[in-house]
Amino acid sequence: MIEEWTSEQREAFDRDGFLIVEEGFIDDETVELLRERFDRLFAGDYVTGIRPDEVNWVAGRDPDDRTRQICNGWKADPEIAQQVLSERTGRLASELMGWDGVRILQDNCIWKPPATKSLGMHQDGSYLDYLVPPEMITCWIALDDTSAEAGTITYAAGSHHWPRSPKNRGEFHAPPDWLAPLERALPQGEDLRLVPIQVKAGGASFHHYNTFHGSGPNTATVHRRAVISHLIPAHTEFHPVNADPVYSRYRRVGDTAMDESYFPVTWARGGGRSAWLDTELAQDLGGVLAEPGHGS
């Protein structure tokens, strides 16, 4: 299990805007546990009693050919929280960006069953104008073996050096052409190199906030699930004017600080991880493990 980056890995991240861990970022037992928690989460069974901030697919409400997405599943399930709020992930992410610490902005739980449509190419940085600074790094962890045919996440290598594109939320879920935003943004004379991330279950990737990424349709016969941590510098604050339709609801009147109850610090140099994480998560997990079917 990776505990530190090599100089070659850091150079690859700086060059390409992403870094791939082909297998073993999390172990097989954790993969199986998270798959089980996905079943409950997407069935609307929220262990903590708290609904995630975004539930972008509900059985019976939304088409079966749409990618299933939940944002901030960590608030609904302590097992998901244990992974996306990982101190190790935070430390490794900080080292790639040269930051002194990170806090969670949000998680994503992504599930692409067979025959589901694409997620459009985009830069995360296009949607961060409500933060100061508008920066982020993402850790994407596969819960299934991935392939291009199964609609794995795909990066445009080196695109973190391109200009930041304007946001267009309408091109994300099941767009008619998932590559169109990338083709519009391609600088003149720039070569396009698409890299589908093909890893084992438990493999991972990290990407820069300006790296173009998305995923094609799942034309295979297998499911493709991933758990994702979007991490921002620990010193980030809300923009005093610009607002996000979902996450700016946590901005307090007259105060741009990000509350650690909702955006906890997962790792900081010299200590500084939000104190409640390990005590509260341990308590919540104790309750989960005592439920029927989890032993005691």
Give mean pLDDT, residues 46-55: 96
Please report whether residue 1 resides in a domain: no
Q: Which domain holds residue 248?
A: 7-289
pLDDT in tens, 136-165: 999 999 999 999 999 999 999 999 999 999
Please report whether residue 213 resides in a domain: yes
Specify the pLDDT at position 285.
Answer: 59
Specify the pLDDT at position 260.
Answer: 96
DSSP 180: H
Dihedral (C-alpha) 138, 29, 69, 180: value to the nearest 10 degrees? 50
Tell me the DSSP string of 97-151: HT-SEEEEEEEEEEEE-TT---EEEE-GGGG-TTEES---EEEEEESS---TTTT
- Least Cα distance to 176 among 120, 229, 133, 131 occurs for 120
Total structural domains within the chain? 1
Please report whether residue 275 resides in a domain: yes
Specify the pLDDT at position 172.
Answer: 85
> At 275, which CATH number?
2.60.120.620
Please tell me the pTM assigned to this model.
0.94
CA distance readout (Å), 232 to 80, 181, 225, 236:
19, 24, 23, 7
Please report whether residue 229 resides in a domain: yes
Question: Distance between CA 85 and CA 43 in Å, rounded?
Answer: 23
Read off the tokens for 151: 């609609």
Tell me the DSSP string of 207-232: EETTS-EEE----SSS-EEEEEEEEE
Please report whether residue 57 resides in a domain: yes
**Dihedral pair phi/psi, residue 9, rounded to 5°:** -70, -40
- Least Cα distance to 263 among 232, 240, 285, 228 occurs for 232
Please report whether residue 248 resides in a domain: yes
Please report whether residue 2 resides in a domain: no
Instruction: Look at residue 268 and tell me whether its pLDDT is greater than 90.
Output: yes
pLDDT in tens, 165-224: 988 876 789 999 999 999 999 999 999 999 999 999 999 999 999 999 999 999 999 999
Please report whether residue 295 resides in a domain: no
